[in-house]
Structure 1
Amino acid sequence: MMRHAPLVAALLSLACVAPPAAAHEAGNGGGVAQRLSQPLQPGLDEGVLLVVTLAPGEASPAHRHEAHVFVYMLEGEVLMQVAGGPERRLKPGDVFEERPDDIHTQAQNLSRTAPARFAVFMVKKRGVPVVLPAN
């Protein structure tokens, strides 16, 4: 966990300053709000910060990111898993990582009454979509 401390601190400072996602403000709906897209190397890599809100009971379909992904839970409880990895129950303050070759098989809000919200920081190649199909 300590090796992630600077990353988590930077992610938190950006996520906490940003207002909640518009979908979150409107009620219990889900949504993704991009908060930052910053080139890291000219023409190569970029850092992207998203805030994801999952509506009560909502689950995302299997997907991949072709990026190094770092998740920091802000509120609620979410079940996360990548193919071949263990299921993880994330609560506020927990972190989750994905590698560029991982297939993200589960991201499900475990609450039936409240949204779940998490910040996602990723380092990816410029021009590659943030989310790609699992296959």
Structure 2
Amino acid sequence: MPEPAYEAWKTAVTVLDEAAPPAFPDAAHVVTARVEFPPGDPGTPPHRHSGPVFGYILEGEMRYELEGNPPRVLHAGEAFWEPGGDIIHYQDANHRDDVPLRFLATLICEPGKPLLELVTDEELAERRHLRATGNA
């Protein structure tokens, strides 16, 4: 009896996002985290990461805003990335008030630094001109 022809590999991969190779911190380590916000949650306050972040929405909808880009809504099955470093991540809020938001984030971290660093109100005011929404 002949071997079955396994052909699924030819169509098994769907590219969700692409990025030019971002800068990785020296001696970086990689962390993959699951993040869960309840319905209507505003998410993490404005923050930054020491290195790039690659994410994938598992469930729900995220209101996503990265410095220099207008806010957008990401849906389950969509991917996102941010370069990290000096760039401020303004929003990762749950866009829905009736379902939870769950996403995976793979962070390329600088050793000895936290996964994220909150941004002060003073810095937000100083960098207001870099935010696509102005003084939102």
Moved more, 93-102 or 69-78: 93-102
> What percentage of residue pairs aligned between the two structures are identical?
33
Number of the residue aligned with 1:117: 102
Task: State the shift of 1:2 in Å.
Answer: 3.9
Residues 65 and 131, structure 1, Cα contact 8 Å, conserved in 2: yes
Task: State the shift of 1:52 in Å.
Answer: 0.3
Distance across 2 between alignment mates of 1:119 and 1:44: 23
Distance across 1 between alignment mates of 2:94 and 2:16: 27
Query: Which structure has more strand as a fraction of its residues?
Result: 1
Moved over 6 A (4+): none
Distance across 2 between alignment mates of 1:4 and 1:77: 17
Q: Which residue of 27, 31, 35 corresponds with 1:52?
A: 35
Residues 57 and 104, structure 2, Cα contact 8 Å, conserved in 1: yes
Query: Which structure has more helix as a fraction of its residues?
Result: 1
> Which amino acid is 2:35 matched to?
V
Query: What are the Cα deviations for residues 72-114 of structure 1, in whole angstroms up to 9, with x where unaligned?
Result: 0000011101111121211111111111221010111111121
Distance across 2 between alignment mates of 1:81 and 1:96: 11
Number of the residue aligned with 2:118: 133
By relative contact order (CA 8 Å, sep 6+), the higher-ranking structure is 2
> Which amino acid is 2:70 matched to?
P
Residues 83 and 103, structure 1, Cα contact 8 Å, conserved in 2: yes
- Bigger Rg, which one: 2
Cα RMSD for the two superposed structures: 2.2
